[in-house]
Structure 1
Amino acid sequence: MNARELDVAGITDPGLRDAYLRCRRLNARHGKTYYLATRLLPLERRAAVHALYGFARWADDIVDTVDGAATTRQRRRALDALEGELDAGPHQGAGARPVIRALLDTRARYGIAPSLFHDFLASMRSDLTVTSYARYADLRAYMHGSAAVIGLQMLPVLGTVVPPAEAEPHAAALGVAFQLTNFLRDVGEDLDRGRVYLPLDLLAAHGAGPELLRWSRRTGRDDPRITAALKDAEHLTRRCYRDAVPGLAMLDPRSRPCVRTAFVLYRGILDAIAADGYQVVHRRAVVPRRRRALVALDGFVSRARPRNRRAPDAPCRPRPGTALRVPVLR
């Protein structure tokens, strides 16, 4: 992490600086799209975003451990221990593990509600035993903790020009849109882990199901029923992006280029999935590096020239008849 970022943020304690550095490395290594967008944030806010990412990544890695020696009970205990450290609070000081120390500092600095992290860990525990969701409503309940709360955690760091409560539904919707995008992109990899995140009722509506997905993954063969279900899931995800759009203009102007860049890059994954013929059962769709660079460049120009920036929601206004048709976030 650039030392100036820490200096501007007022982070002076050597141990705390090292904790934030570790979170930044996790972000740079594992969340390349997300990390690219954070470079557009004001210097003093970047460390907090890295801390939030580092904690989420750490918990996710506990759940997805491939070490055969790590049983479900052991992983649950690891998540419980993580939550216990959160509950212990900032008084842990130098005794806390680095990622926790950085997170507790960020939580205190920005007044982020502790309940958001408890809800997140509840969904992580669900991943230890739940491998599919019968209805979209069930998946939305899971995504409240695994995705919506991420947007809500970020909101105090990003800042708003309206009362935070007005922006919260849109921030939560964007977190859900990002996760639905990841679910679509990672269908094949999730199958290898024994998970199906596409709602079973959505698959069944097209005559598909987990067995057909596994057959397609195993044989490398396509099936029109799967393609139809994936297109339906894509349309569902795009509606979530449209629901998030009004929130872009509610953010602090200095944070908008970052979020708009993340918005465009993640939504671009949907375009890449379609362009690849919905082959996500067999391989990941990837946004071309040149495209990512151009979007990032546009973000940097937007940050440098805020007064000349196009209205952030202009490219994404819902067309007539495309009102969101998904359950309201909790």
Structure 2
Amino acid sequence: MSRTLEQPAPPSPQVLAAYRYCEAVTEGQARNFAYGIRLLPTARRQAMSALYAFSRRVDDIGDGPLEPAVKRTRLEETRALLDRVRAGDVPDDATDPVAVALADAARRFPIPLGGLDELIDGVLMDVRGRTYETWEELKEYCRCVAGAIGRLSLGVFGTLPGARDAERAPHYADTLGLALQLTNILRDVREDAAEGRTYLPRADLAAFGCAGGLHQDVPPPGADFAGLVRFEVRRARALFAEGLKLLPLLDRRSAACVSAMAGIYHRLLTRIARDPHAVLRGRVSLPAREKAWVALRGLSGLDARRAARRTLPETSR
């Protein structure tokens, strides 16, 4: 997926305005995502903002107060809009800035737009109230709502020419998305339960005596809630270890972006592992100063360069 495409002409004033709208959405609503994409060059930052704004629209439909039947209709309308983007049927002067920006981004980068169909499919799982018996079933959901985002992002980043294992980049991007989503699920376990959603596999809940639910500040009597959380943390860490093999396949700025986002979530995971019951008391988060520090560390490229020495062919070093 190394980029050899000629870049189109500079964006028109209408497209630039659409990108500014998407960047404002990203800055205003992306708690962790924005820290990474600030590190990208302008064109890639704009494209990632368009992807975020479209994804945010899909998520907002799923999380909103509408009745399930209305949500399903809205989601299919959004899919129809995506079909128009895919067909090149969104002019620069269209009235929907997210569609305009996404259409321009898709012209500039080899973005696999089918990943946004997967996102819609994943949100439809939420609307239908699906639960998950096993990790394999939950992994299907995580691939739709997060792994797909990793693969979409890779379409913007591209891979370094000559990088060993470049054909594995989509797998690594997908796996990193799974790691981020499982971290989200652990962080939001009580909030989701209060809304009637249970994401953790029922088999895992039963194994640790938590099948009775996680709606309270304290777990059910006799439950090993800390054991459950640490079990899922180990799973997430294994996914991070595999997914971060993506870093040496990317250029410095793209690797910095990925490293920043992954670093924030990995630190969040560490905080959860240190005090598993904290997720029952409220949302666990990192202070803005720490997130900014992680982003700055990603920009240094030290981790990516160390990994690159192990991944690039000898002639590329």
> What interval of TM-score do these two structures reach, taking the shorter chain for normalisation?
0.7 to 0.9
Letter in 2 for 1:110: F
Q: Report whether the alignment pairs 1:87 with 2:83.
A: yes
Aligned residues: 294
Letter of the aligned partner of 1:269 in structure 2?
Answer: L
**Paired position in structure 2 for 1:270:** 269
**Aligned-pair CA distance for 1:313:** 6.1
Partner of 2:151: 152
| Matched residue, 1:238 | 237
What CA distance in whole angstroms lies between the structure 1 residues aligned with 2:285 and 2:79? 34
Query: For each residue in 1:173-192, what CA deviation from the matched residue of structure 2 results, as whole angstroms up to 9, or x when unmatched?
Result: 11111111111111111112
> What secondary structure is seen at the aligned counterpart in 2 of 1:91?
coil
Write the distance in 2 (CA, Å) between the matches of 1:45 and 1:170: 20
Task: Give the match for residue 4 of structure 2.
Answer: none
Q: Do the aligned partners of 2:260 and 2:294 also contact (CA within 8 Å) in 1?
A: yes
State the SS of the aligned residue for 2:279: coil
Q: Equivalent residue for 1:323?
A: none
Following TM superposition, by how much is the alpha carbon of 1:19 offset from its aligned partner in structure 2, in angstroms? 1.6
Residues 108-147 of structure 1: matches in 2 within 5 Å?
108-147=107-146
> Does the CA-based 8 Å contact 1:245-1:313 persist in structure 2?
no
Q: Does 1:77 align with 2:77?
A: no
Runs (4+) of structure 1 exceeding 4 A deviation are: 8-11, 310-314
1:54 maps to which residue? 53
Q: How does 1:10-89 map to 2 (within 5 A)?
A: 11-66=10-65, 70-89=66-85
- The corresponding residue for 1:213 is 214
* Counterparts of 2:50 and 2:268, CA distance in 1: 25
- When the two structures are superposed, what TM-score results if normalisation uses the length of structure 2? 0.86
Deviation at 1:9, TM superposition (A): 9.2
Larger mean Cα displacement after TM superposition, 93-102 or 229-238: 93-102
Q: State the TM-score, normalized to the length of structure 1.
A: 0.83
CA deviation after TM superposition for structure 1 residue 45, in Å: 1.0
Distance 1:188 1:103 in 2: 34
Distance change (3 Å), C-alpha of 1:122 and 1:164: farther
Deviations 1:30-78 (A, max 9, x none): 2132101111112221000101111111100000002xxx211111111
Query: Which residue in the other structure is 1:176 paired with?
Result: 178
Please report the RMSD computed on the Cα atoms of aligned residues, expressed in angstroms: 2.2
Q: What whole-Å deviation, never above 9, does each CA across 1:289-310 have from its counterpart, x for those lacking one?
A: 332232223234x1xxx6xx34
Cα 1:62/1:310, change in 2 over 3 Å:
closer
Q: Which moved more, 1:118-127 or 1:56-65?
A: 118-127
Structure 2: 5+ residue stretches without partners = 1-6, 311-317
